[in-house]
Structure 1
Amino acid sequence: MTELPAEPAAPDPWAGLRAFTAARIALGRTGSSVPLREALAFRLAHAHARDAVYSALDLEPLLTALQPLQLPVCRVRSQAPDRSQYLHRPDLGRRLGVASGPELATHATEAPDIVLILADGLSAEAVNRHAAPVLALLVPPLQRAGFRLAPIVVAEQARVALSDEIGAALGARLALMLIGERPGLSAPDSLGAYLTFGPRPGLTDEARNCVSNIRPEGLPYPAAADKLQWLVQEALRRQLSGVPLKDEMDLLG
């Protein structure tokens, strides 16, 4: 029996569009399937995304990178005892652990304007890579503007809503959480920023503003820091956040 030659991979006519996006488009085909190269690339991207979900904060290098900011650092945990429980019980990631309340009380300062929170979320690797560079660009202009900053809070096994309890415990007017976003097949290390005026338990997502995809290949550090500074200033000036606070930075200057 004569073996038929394998059909060569056909180039996709839209291949030029791949220069403008990291999305999985214009993959080409071999017969009725995608080329082996693209199939393997998909499996590798999926593996990176799974690894990101189970990644942990690399605390020693992270704390070292925060030292130039000359702000105290407080470490807290949610009620999720481990990563498995964190993933299976999202509600536990939204509440402070028993020991974390007293820990925050020891770092309480007089009426801070802003508390900055670094949280592992669904990709601790995003925080390990991007949080310190963003804060290095964000903290100095906030301080020059006269805002009082609470100690930086590093939160493990944390969901976004944990910022409400942290902000309320420290009496902060505004909470800004940098957190690892849900990893995708093109970005396993995307950092998100969630801003909440008047943080307190019971708030829902319409009370927050979000800046997402912070990373060199997405929203670069300087642009992210500028946008966050503008949102923080406007939130504190207008005393609101979420749906009523629109991103009018480019319109208003």
Structure 2
Amino acid sequence: MKTPAPPSRPLEALRELTPARVGLGRSGASMPTEALLAFTLDHARARDAVHAVFDGQRLVMELGGLGLEVRTVSSQARNRRDYLRRPDLGRMLDADSRRALEKPGGAGKIAIVIGDGLSPVAVNMHAVELVRQLVPRLTEAGVPCGPVVVASGARVALGDEIGAVLGARMVVMLIGERPGLSAPDSLGAYLTFAPRIGLTDEKRNCVSNIHGAGLGYDEAAFKIAWLVREGIAREVTGVALKDESGTALIAAKPRD
């Protein structure tokens, strides 16, 4: 068996497979002008994503169009400046939001929370379509979903308090991830069994990199639904629950 010949221009071939900055070259002691301008543009897009407006009203309307009950809450971060300077405020509900969630009406087995996070752009672009794919998979798995909660000024841990107040067995937090220079609109999903205040990240599973050039909605929904089903069945999430959804996906594919 012949070994295939390596590409004549390996760096160019690698660039076609990744948005990462590979082999940018040099102009004297600096980067070439084109690479520098591209870096500056991507850095500006990342900064803009952090400070973008969270379109919570549109999310509520579109989620309602899917037949879902939607509630809105806010963290104790009153503005974006507070949110960025005081991460602790983004992890706690304000008093009015907590009282509103304490009203009758349970969350079912899981609570889906949609928070702006560090990239409101990602949430505005991807959250509704992901929920559209996710809810039928949860229903098929026999996991009833209560109201969807749209949270502004949210950090990941805000979902723990929301899930605890609603009495959910598990919380799925969809949130804008920290913008990168190649992906300012990446959405993440954080799953926590038996949510309560004070949990740390080793208790969570994360499905990340959900965006146009990353993980697609259907595959992300499959992974999340698998983790929800298995997490509830085993009563764990985090380091105790390994993502083996890929094995299940292979087994589900028809064979030729």
TM-score by length of 2: 0.90
Mapping of residues 102-121 of structure 1, within 5 Å: 102-106=99-103, 108-110=104-106, 112-121=108-117
Equivalent in the alignment of 1:226: 222
Report the residue type matching 2:26 in the other structure.
R
Equivalent in the alignment of 2:46: 49
Equivalent in the alignment of 2:86: 89
Equivalent in the alignment of 1:35: 32
Q: 2:142 aligns with which of 146, 154, 160?
A: 146
How far apart, in 1, do the equivalents of 2:234 and 2:173 lie?
A: 20
DSSP 3-state at the match of 2:105: coil
**Displacement of 1:72:** 1.0
1:199 aligns with 2:199: no
1:248 aligns with 2:244: yes
Equivalent in the alignment of 2:120: 124
Equivalent in the alignment of 2:254: none
**Displacement of 1:68:** 3.1
Listed as ranges, the gaps of 5+ residues in structure 1 are 1-11
The one-character-per-residue Cα deviations of 1:1-24 (angstroms, maximum 9, x if unpaired) are xxxxxxxxxxx9623211011111
The one-character-per-residue Cα deviations of 1:107-150 (angstroms, maximum 9, x if unpaired) are x4246101000000000110000001111000012123332211
DSSP 3-state at the match of 1:150: strand
Q: In the comparison of the two structures, how many residue pairs are matched?
A: 241
**Displacement of 1:248:** 1.1
| Contact map agreement 1:167 1:199 (CA 8 A) in 2 | yes
The one-character-per-residue Cα deviations of 1:56-81 (angstroms, maximum 9, x if unpaired) are 21123322321232111111011111
1:22 aligns with 2:22: no
| Contact map agreement 1:62 1:128 (CA 8 A) in 2 | yes
| Contact map agreement 2:203 2:238 (CA 8 A) in 1 | yes
How far apart, in 1, do the equivalents of 2:13 and 2:246 lie?
A: 31
Listed as ranges, the gaps of 5+ residues in structure 2 are 1-8, 252-256
Change (3 A) 1:43 1:110: closer
DSSP 3-state at the match of 1:243: helix
| Contact map agreement 2:112 2:172 (CA 8 A) in 1 | yes
How far apart, in 1, do the equivalents of 2:146 and 2:60 lie?
A: 16
Equivalent in the alignment of 2:61: 64
How far apart, in 2, do the equivalents of 1:69 and 1:232 lie?
A: 21
How far apart, in 1, do the equivalents of 2:102 and 2:69 lie?
A: 13
> Identity over aligned residues, as a percent?
55
